[in-house]
Structure 1
Amino acid sequence: MSNKNDIDVIIQNLESSLDATSESKKQLSEYTIQLGKQEGQIESAIGLWEEMKGQNVTPPQPITASGVALTYILQQLSQDLKTHVSNPSWANQLQALGTTTLTINSVAASGASLSYPPGYRSQALVQVNLIEERYSQRSAISQRLHTIDQSLGQEYDNAWQTLHQATQDPTRSPMFLMREVERRLLDFFAPEIKVRKYHSLVPGDKITGRHKINYLKSIIKPSAQAAFLAQEQALNDIYALLSKAHTPGQLDTEKTRAFLYQADALIQLLLDSF
């Protein structure tokens, strides 16, 4: 599938997701605010993808591939929520929909920041960033990470603070810090002794990241499994692309901010899924 076809699929999936999410919003009253957040996030993502299509830019293939995968999941989650809102289990669907919606906006922001020429002023990207900041769970995430380990919470706080400070490396440092937070959180939820037992590994066997992911997949709430796997892969893809930006000026604040948004979504999903 070409990148441009990917964008068409992404927009179609997002529009379908928006229809289903809007329909669910109409049927619910108590959770209207929560659904309104997700509706706004999907709308802003559609705007940015449509702008990229209109500007005839082509994001890197891993970005569009991640977008296609995530929007298929988002589309299914929104349809499931629409169908099952009368069932008590719908709350799990709503939670999974929320974290996936947050991530698809981050994928869109990464696609735009990696594709538009330097200095291009994207109104749709500004809108996506405003939506992400408005519905940010940063304070709650920080508090929960501090509860797990004070140094983990501090590392998370430092990633965001460094982005807004005039440091020697205001773009790479926060990205690497957030990557370390993700790694440590995976270690917390997938401790070595349990991972070895699950995979029947002997002491000499090396534990890989894939071992940890497969273990987490086995214990995570079913409603969050697909979203977790897709978001974890999307974060890896975008991190790999950003890590290639070695030349000064190639890795700017917008690219880093989009990555931090996406890391936030994965961290929140992990914190909410056990």
Structure 2
Amino acid sequence: MSPPFYSLITGASSGIGECFARQLAARGKNVLLVARSGHKLETLGSELKTKHTILAEPLEIDLSVPGAGGQLARQVNQRGYAIDLLVNNAGFGARGKFWELPFDQQTSLMRLQIEALMELTYHLLPGMIERQNGGIINVSSMTGFQPIPYATAYAATKAFMSSFSMAIREELRPYKVAVVTLCPGGTRTNFVNIGAREGRHKFPGGPQPPEEVVNDALMQLQQGGGLVVPRLVNKASIFAQRFLPRETVARLLARMSKP
């Protein structure tokens, strides 16, 4: 008998990650819930199992620790979980002058949003390729389209994530593995540091409900993947920036984002 398929969601204890877990479970998908908050994962998993009659397994791990992404992937493979959807969502923001922020905090940010993403993708892709079926959703951000002063490292990691995601989508096209690059603007979640800043200042219309963001991503996944920028106003903002030099955009954003 073939093992049941699971969707693996990082950062699943709150915000967009929790929303992915809820919407996937409502669609009848089994979920592996990954985050540092073990108690929250246990509570969420129990709720989803009862409500939707699916399998929901909590996996507590800090993906900002060196090598944690590879450790998680090995654990998943050793337990025989078959992953047909990987949602790389875990992240946090660090806002302030680059040289005044704790360096350890910024390296943790890079490990979480770059290294762990690459490790999980690298180790979980072979099964999808072999089956000629699967999907990856990388939760990037509108900040990945331009430099963001006072969120320097955060925006840089999101730029990497978007570039990596769009490139690997083309590599995977012949293998029927869909890749979605999700770039939301301000979203109504607990991500209050950098996220709230985005919502108040750079994205008109106020924060978007995470349910809308997740629904847009899952719809795009069904259509074969691609870039998702929720809301017309966000698309218009990105389009308008094409007509300005990046240095000008960075200077404007510095004035808007200065602590």
Q: Does the TM-score normalized on the shorter chain lie above 0.5?
A: no
Q: TM-score, normalised by structure 2?
A: 0.32
Q: Normalising to structure 1: TM-score of the pair?
A: 0.30
Q: Which has the higher contact order (CA 8 A, sep 6+)?
A: 1
Larger relative strand fraction: 2
| Structure (1/2) with the larger helix percentage | 1
